[in-house]
Amino acid sequence: SKSRPMMSARQVHMSCRGSLQEHCASSSRHLRRPLRTSSRSSRSATKPSSCSSSAITFCGGGGGASRCGWANTNGVPLIATTTSIKRCAAARPSVVLRCAGSSAAAGGASEEEKKEDGGMFGKEGLITLGFILFWYALNIGFNINNKALFNQFPFPWTVSTVHVIVGSIYCAVLYALGFKDASFGRPIDKREFGYLVKPATMHALGHIAANLSFAAVAISLTHTVKTLEPAFNVVMSKLILGTVTPLPVVATLAPIIIGVALASAAEVSFNWLGFISAMLSNLTFSFRAVWVKECQANVKNFTATNNYAYTSVISMFICAPLALIFEGGSVVEGAKTAIASMGATAFWFQLFLVGIFYHLYNQFAYQTLNRVSPVAHGVCNVVKRIVVIFSSVIFFGNVMTQKTIIGTCIAIAGTYLYTTMNQKYKAK
């Protein structure tokens, strides 16, 4: 039989939008080059015996580190090892692998395909860069507007509830308009709800704790303390999943802890409510991180965007009663005071704005994760925290002592080390 022509990354993506399967299936009649299968695991993907550094297009995704470049389902180049690639989108009985730089691969990729798929300056690379920039811009907008609102309306339980209400309405509108993939995706059953409700509950409680901290202390201190989240993740992964973190990875937590301690001790705006709330946010978000893994393993055909849409709705039903309990008696008078200071239009618009910023920056963060490797996403997260901290300092004119600046830099550097070391050992 005649061989099928090679497909571009976009064609591969469109042909594979079906159910995810655990093994990468491939048929030799669809390949232009011999494959070598890893003997270490039947779950590992196959790869050509040699390829270029930006070479292979396939339906699937992964992380790790290797000399071979893989592309995810969106056609965006990723760096991955064969053992780190666990799944292939395989709506068809085979998956096309292309070694773009090889003369054996039917002459390699066309110039049009290279422009569309290749590198940071290709079409997909520029789209990914756009996602990152939107993520950063929305995050900065959220943090600055959220803190400005707290300066006039110091009701973090209520504001946290508004965030998830706005996000839930946004998702419902998209779903009603037919944009299902950008919202809930599909209905869920009782079993799937059981897996979703645990990380969603931790998300709601962690979000409230973070806002309690934002309202009490400078944004820079909250974000510095939140760099401790990996330390909580290590402990929770051990206690709940029994996952043992390699010692070199654990060692990278030391500069994070030292940096946070130094920055907190020298922070002008420090108070215990802000510090403890940020620590509680770390704890709850670490529970969320662990239970999200459990959810992903048991809820199939469900994207991170779909997960977050349901998380927003579940969070709304958790945050609203707590806001009524803790602030219900005073929130009306607080709103009247804020309206008298800001004006009614500005007050209600600010509430809506922080809600939509909060939802969209989280959505762009998830979508960016789908387009880049875990290491790249971790590095982007570190850079984002730096940008948010220093943009808030400039906007609000907060004073950071020399020790606070040094401590913050040490903590952020430790976060970068943790991200890279953690992914390095995952890839092995």
User: Mean pLDDT over residues 372-397, rounded?
Assistant: 81
User: Mean pLDDT over residues 282-298, rounded?
Assistant: 88
Closest of 82, 56, 214 to residue 145, by C-alpha: 214
Per-residue CA distances from 82 to 58, 229, 405 (Å): 12, 29, 41
Instruction: Return the CA Rg of the chain.
Output: 23
Residue 62, pLDDT above cutoff 80: no
**Maximum distance among all alpha carbons in the chain?**
78
Nearby residues of 111 by Cβ (< 8 Å), 6 or more positions away: none
Give me the amino acid identity at 374: P
Nearby residues of 305 by Cβ (< 8 Å), 6 or more positions away: 181, 182, 183, 185, 363, 366, 367
- Counting residues of the chain whose pLDDT is more than 70, the rounded percentage is 70
d(CA 308, CA 34): 41
Question: Which of 2-6, 129-133, 364-368 has maximum average pLDDT?
Answer: 129-133
Give me the amino acid identity at 71: A
Query: Tell me: the pLDDT tens digits for 133-160?
Result: 899 999 999 999 999 999 999 999 999 9
pLDDT for position 243? 81
**How many Cβ atoms sit within 10 Å of the Cβ of residue 11?**
15
Per-residue CA distances from 202 to 5, 65, 122, 146, 273 (Å): 48, 32, 39, 21, 19
d(CA 55, CA 52): 5
pLDDT higher for 139 or 377? 139
pLDDT for position 373? 67
Query: Tell me: the pLDDT tens digits for 171-227?
Result: 999 999 999 998 999 999 999 999 999 999 999 999 999 999 999 999 989 999 988
d(CA 387, CA 113): 34
d(CA 168, CA 161): 11
pLDDT band, very low/low/confident/very high, at 401 (cuts 50, 70, 90)? confident
CB 286 within 8 A of CB 163: no
pLDDT for position 371? 74
Query: Tell me: the pLDDT tens digits for 237-256?
Result: 888 878 888 899 899 999 99
**Token pair recorded at residue 255:** 């500069």
Locate tokens 């092995």: which residue?
Answer: 428
pLDDT higher for 313 or 116? 313
User: Mean pLDDT over residues 56-84, rounded?
Assistant: 38
CB 164 within 8 A of CB 207: yes
Query: Tell me: the pLDDT tens digits for 96-121?
Result: 333 333 333 334 444 444 444 555 55
Q: Annotate 295-307 with b (16+ C-beta within 10 A) or e (fewer).
A: beeebeebebbbb
CB 427 within 8 A of CB 83: yes
